[in-house]
Structure 1
């Protein structure tokens, strides 16, 4: 996975540290990668637990889906705010504060007795996600200036693994411990990550930056704007459907909870293979890799709409979906960073803001559709978003 991410990440290839200092230990780089993993996993954790949470709190599954909407919308604002606020903060201190917010968020979720408390807790997660994505994932070159590609790949691998295992991990822990203890256990895990960062991270001063003033400059780039539109379409479609995959598989496909955990685990494993495949793919043609990703996602959702009543066909579609989802972070990251290689921090913030906002909106749209028209229609929204992105990419970026 490290090699594929190295090939896929323009950030790793084009970022030059502003200060030359002795390389930090590889354990410090790994610790940041694990921090990225915990944040992304926490964001996806509720997806496989929505039926349990909704039943326990006596709310609809669409309302429970706001657990995905709330952090996404907050993270979008936090990412942009970090460009200005974060430019004066020591980076090691910023990471410790952001991951501490994650601990508090998961502890509050575990104790929540109402939807309101649940959503406040998830908003704290949104602040952590937006800030960490803007600051943390770009620290590899500064910690290891002698091995920029490998350091960046290690950190991005935490993002990728968290993306593909978050749902199956949540489903497994929820089935084993219940949803409250699943969040409590995850909070305890993050405490260990925070302690490791305290021990391992060196002093990392902020880099010189014009802050938010750079955003309009980057937004005037046609390729960046068109790329962000594609990001929004894909993420809205993905999370309108993906947030409600567990209710769909139980209600429509007739897959009971035990088999559901195994199927979502297969989804995660397929995502790892999709990740590896996309690392090879983007090295050859980034545009085609993004197109293939949106087609994989939309095709799998369409197969569920058409054949979802059959548990066998539904399982096959979910595995195909996992491949597409595993491709998504590398394909999109590679494409959006390639658009403005000299403004990576600003592009990263815009990418995070657009992706997180679209993630939240997708879950919100999916929740409204589920409550009014049923879970099958949420898959239809997913098809429209992801395949709509395919048409947009073809129109905006001809050969």
Structure 2
């Protein structure tokens, strides 16, 4: 395999920031849901489509876009996708109707899927072999950082101004990142055409299959509830909307702590780390409508929620590394699953919230967490090289 002898850390940083901005853009409407729903005159459940649409588009663009562009230089591809992100963010900020806003979100989804699919495979071409794990950690650290910090920071900006400013700012940052990608990335011609059959082959491996299905249960369940965290905190815990952005920052901080703790634990005990995620989410989310009825208890449960979900990426990726016959192909499959699950979770939660109530949506999410926990529990721990006890 071709290896880069001189490390290009600025290129790695540019790719990491690109991932951070794209995943932040995908999830940004979560913290701004109430604002956008009020501004556009739609229900919170309908506003949740701002998460569903890019999630579904990203899920399909992740495996299909690399196939469609063939042998296009990946430097050009990544820069162009970030430019599409600029257009999607600016058009979102300027949208005069909810339909136009959703159309702009399609562009965001296209950027997310294509960028994520390529970014994970270029680390060996940017740094020497011995430094590839560090580069991969940095690049995919953008995903974790976006999940735990992107939404809170975007929500804070939206609260200090309005949701249009938040989207516009994201577009400006994306423009700067597109320039950084163009100037810092070296030419990156693809080594071989991307084929879909390798992705399908990964699913025949039991370890990969369990990881994919568990991810689907956990992420669909999480976003079925978390997409509506702003009304949950306001209506169930009695917290003022002006405090939501600050609390989501605390949620983000808890997620970072969970990510670090899981990184240390999953390396030694990947089976127990993955089993703990749906099990703990089940408890926290199920009891939230019952025990989170006061601001103090609501905040405590929110912090626990953030810490557990913050551990998802590193724990599942460790499982994949232990079990996948082709780590790169399995990671692309996980990108499809994760993004599709975000969209499906937001859509499912929206239908439940509009048709019933927020507590019902949280209990439905808990049911999905239960399925995930049972799936892992019924899987032999030896698959990941760990004894159950």
TM-score clears 0.5: yes
Alignment map for 1:1-150 (pairs within 5 Å): 18-146=1-129, 147-150=131-134
Deviation at 1:135, TM superposition (A): 0.6
Contact 2:7 2:128 in 1 (8 A): no
Query: Is 1:226 matched up with 2:210?
Result: yes
Structure 2 residue aligned with 1:4 = none
Which structure 2 residues correspond to residues 270-349 of structure 1 after superposition, within 5 A? 270-341=254-325, 343-349=326-332
CA shift, 1:297, in A, is 2.1
- Please report how far the alpha carbon of residue 337 of structure 1 lies from its aligned counterpart in structure 2 after TM superposition: 3.8
Q: In terms of mean alpha carbon deviation, does 363-372 or 132-141 score higher?
A: 132-141
Alpha-carbon RMSD across the aligned residues, in angstroms, is: 1.5
Measure how far apart 1:83 and its partner are: 4.5
Residue of structure 1 equivalent to 2:384: none
Is this contact kept in 1: 2:320–2:327, CA < 8 A? Answer: no
Measured after TM superposition, the shift of residue 209 of structure 1 is: 4.5
1:155 and 2:139 are equivalent in the alignment: yes
Q: Deviations over 1:16-69 (max 9, x none)?
A: xx2134334211111111111111111111101000000000000000000111
Q: Pick from 194, 218, 227 the counterpart of residue 178 of structure 2.
A: 194
For residues 348-378 of structure 1, the C-alpha deviation after alignment (integer angstroms, 9 at most, x for no partner) is 2211111111111111010001101121212
- Deviation string, structure 1 residues 146-204 (Cα, Å, up to 9, x no partner): 41111111112111111111221121011011001110011111111111111111111
Cα separation, 1, equivalents of 2:168 and 2:264 = 38
Superposed, 1:347-358 pairs within 5 Å as 347-358=330-341
Structure 2 equivalent of residue 263 of structure 1:
247
Contact 2:37 2:47 in 1 (8 A): yes
- TM-score, length-normalised on structure 1? 0.92
CA distance in structure 1 between the aligned counterparts of 2:340 and 2:175, rounded to whole angstroms: 27
Give the equivalent residue in structure 1 for 2:385: none
After the TM superposition, which of the residue ranges 74-83 and 63-72 deviates more from structure 2?
Answer: 74-83
Runs (5+) with no aligned partner, structure 2: 382-387
Measured in 2, the distance between the counterparts of 1:299 and 1:87 equals 46
Q: Which runs of 5+ in 1 are unaligned?
A: 1-17
The TM-score, its normalising length taken from structure 2, stands at 0.94
| Separation in structure 1 between the aligned mates of residue 287 and residue 150 of structure 2, nearest angstrom | 23
- The equivalent of 1:394 in structure 2 is 377
Match of 1:5 in 2: none
- Indicate whether 1:381 and 2:381 are aligned: no
Q: Structure 1 residue 217 and structure 2 residue 205: aligned? A: no
CA distance in 2, matches of 1:385, 1:242: 14
User: Which is further off, 191-200 or 237-246?
Assistant: 191-200
Q: Distance in 2 between matches of 1:285 and 1:313?
A: 31
Task: Identify the range of structure 1 (120-129 vs 207-216) with the bigger mean alpha-carbon deviation.
Answer: 207-216
Is the 2:255–2:308 contact (alpha carbons within 8 Å) kept by the matching residues of 1? Answer: yes
